[in-house]
Structure formats: C-alpha cells, structure tokens
Amino acid sequence: MESQIEQLKSLVDNANKILITSHISPDPDAVASVLLAGTTLQANFPNKKIKMVLEEKPSKNISFLDNYSVLEFKSLPQAVQELHPDLLIMVDAMNFERCSRSDAGSIRTIVNQLSSKIVAIDHHEELDVEEGALYFNKKNPATAQELYELLFFDLKLNKPTGYAQTTLLGIISDTARHKYDNHRHRETFKIVSELIDAGASIEQLENKTERYSAGQLRAISAVTANIKDSGKGYTYSFIDKDSPDHSMSQESKVSALKAAAEIFTSQFARNFENNNWGFIIYPELASGPNVYSVSFRSVTGGIDVAALAHKLGGGGHKQAAGAKIQANSVQEALQKVQDAIQQSKN
C-alpha cells in the first residue's frame, strides 16, 4: 500500500497540467497557500503547465507578495474548461462548493469527464471532502504550514523565491500572530524560525497588512456601538446595510465591513464582560442585497461554533466559524442565528 505522500508524489509526477485553487472570499492564508503550492511546483517541474486561479480577489491587499502577479482571478469552471487539468489541487478548502460561488457542479462534471485527479490540502474541520480527493489535514493552524511540511519536509522539493514571506503571512494571519492554543506548536515555531532565518519579518508583514482607512474605523465604531451581552453566555454585535455610511463606494463598504467584523471577532467576541464566545452579523454586499454573514468565535475548550455554523449552512473550525444567511434585514438574520443557538441547546 502506497503512503499518502507517495500517492501525492506520483499524482504530481504524472500530471502535465496542474490547476491550483482555494476558497471564495480568500483570506491571506488561502492566497499564500495557492502561491506557495504553485510557485514550488513551478520551480521544481519547469516543464509542467501550472495555473494558480482564485475565483475571487482577497479583501486584504497582499499584492506585495512575491509572484503575486502570476495569480489569476476568474471563474473556476471557466479555468478548468480552458486548462483541462490532469490534476486539480485545492488548498485551504476541501470541496468545489468552497472554491466556486458561480458553479461548483459544473467543475465536478468537467473534472469527471476529464478523469482529472483531485487533491485537497486543508486545516479546517472535516466537512464534505470532495469525493475521490487525496486529502491531507493534520489540523495545522494554517494551510501554509500544512503545505510547508508536505512540500519541503515530506516531498523534499526545492524552495521557490519568496517562499519565506509567503508562508509566514499564511501562518501569522491564520494564527493571529500565535494568539490561540495550537496542538502543533512545535512544528509551527520550528517553521516560523526557519522563515525568519530566511529573511521574512513578522513586523514588516504586519505593518503592510494591518492598515485601516477612515471608513473602516467608522464601521468599527458602529460595531462597538451595537455590541450586546445576550444574557445567555454569549456576546453579539451587528452592522446594518446602511453602515458605515451612504457616501462610500460598494467596494470600500465591503472592505470596511470585513475589517470591522475582523476586529470584533479577534478582539471582542470572546472578551466582552464575562462571556467567552460570540458572533457578529454583517451584510455580505458582494453576494447580493439580502445576504448576511455571521462569524462566530469561542475560546478553546468552550462552545463548538463549527457545529453552530454548520446548522446555518456554513462551516469552519471549532473555535472560529461562519455562515452566510439569506434574510431581508439584519434583525431577521440575527433571529435565525439566535434560533440556531437555541435549537442546539435542546
């Protein structure tokens, strides 16, 4: 019986055309993971045709990363149709629905017709792993770490230019600079030391990624104004459609809402009054007028928020998870979340 690593090695060896992708609403770990996997394969197998495609652009500007310009942002079914990949690698995701908002089903149809091989490399809670995929998940704190271990420790591939900064960005952003308990801390800190030795800098990275506009700070003030203690052990806040204000363009509104939600989830969801978990609801403007996002956080060992998010059609980690909700108002979305919490107690 071939080991998983041997299977991965032969899938890569036998593929001439490889497509690498990640999840919709890509965060820095998703983008860094696509870049790390793609540039490493490109550097080690210069005769293979390798494409790095994401269906959506990241909300954070991380275009300073080395090789960022090789990333293509386009419809994933279209990219699969154009390339006819022998091998499709999903990173930071485990099924096509996570990778495509436009049409996951048609990706599945094309991939089946082509008999393309599928690999999924992820660190989220296991949920609907794509059928037939060779699946890797050690529950690392970031997919960039999972990839670093696979590519350089297990497959012993050569490192491409820019790998140190790219990997470090994935790890630093998904761990919120090592804020949370991490059962793979020995591997994480060993790798982070290697990356810093290779010239990457946490301070420089964070100075580039942690930037706020006036619009984002106005959205944050709406979030802190709306913060509530439910009286049932959890904290919540919300932003309605008209926040932060009417004058902003759609694009800056989307980024302001995301930034405000992120501040709430990282700083306040677990830390308000005596509560150790909570959530925020905000309009998901990019998905349509009646779509809201809910984002949950809890302290390790407390509430399993992945299960709550799953009830609402989403997913994630036990301590950090989210879902998208159809609702006509933020109040209706809030009611749906509170109903799901109530049901999970019964």
> Hey, what are 31's tokens?
């983008």
Q: Dihedral sign, CA of 254, 337, 318, 98?
A: negative
CA 275 – CA 309 distance, rounded (Å): 19
Phi and psi at 334, nearest 5°, equal: -60, -45
Is 23 or 253 the residue whose CB approaches Mn ion more closely?
23
Helix (H) or strand (E) holding 21: strand 17-21
> Hey, what are 293's tokens?
């996002």
> Minimum distance from CB of 207 to Mn ion (Å)?
22
> Minimum distance from CB of 316 to Mn ion (Å)?
10
46-51 own/partner pairs: CB under 8 Å, 24+ apart: 48/15, 48/16, 48/17, 48/18, 49/16, 49/17, 49/18, 49/83, 50/17, 50/18, 50/20, 51/17, 51/18, 51/19, 51/20, 51/79, 51/83, 51/85
Residue type, 112: N
Helix (H) or strand (E) holding 234: strand 234-238
CA distances from 48 to 15, 18, 19, 54, 169 (A): 8, 8, 11, 19, 27
> Minimum distance from CB of 28 to Mn ion (Å)?
9
Is 108 or 123 the residue whose CB approaches Mn ion more closely?
123
Is 143 or 298 the residue whose CB approaches Mn ion more closely?
143
> Minimum distance from CB of 219 to Mn ion (Å)?
24
> Minimum distance from CB of 120 to Mn ion (Å)?
13
Is 137 or 226 the residue whose CB approaches Mn ion more closely?
137
Tokens 């045709």, located at residue: 49
Measuring CA to CA, which residue among 116, 115, 97 is closest to residue 106? 97
CB 209 within 8 A of CB 169: yes
Is 29 or 125 the residue whose CB approaches Mn ion more closely?
29
Is 170 or 244 the residue whose CB approaches Mn ion more closely?
170
CB 235 within 8 A of CB 269: yes
> What is the CB-side half-sphere exposure of residue 8 using CA atoms within 13 A?
20
Is 143 or 188 the residue whose CB approaches Mn ion more closely?
143
In this structure, the number of other CB atoms found within 10 A of the CB of residue 194 comes to 16
CB closest to Mn ion, residue no: 29
> Minimum distance from CB of 123 to Mn ion (Å)?
6
Q: Which residues bind Mn ion (CB under 5 A)?
A: 29, 92, 143, 174
> Minimum distance from CB of 94 to Mn ion (Å)?
11
Is 55 or 92 the residue whose CB approaches Mn ion more closely?
92
> Minimum distance from CB of 286 to Mn ion (Å)?
19
Residue 323: strand pairing partners:
294
Is 92 or 125 the residue whose CB approaches Mn ion more closely?
92
> Minimum distance from CB of 30 to Mn ion (Å)?
6
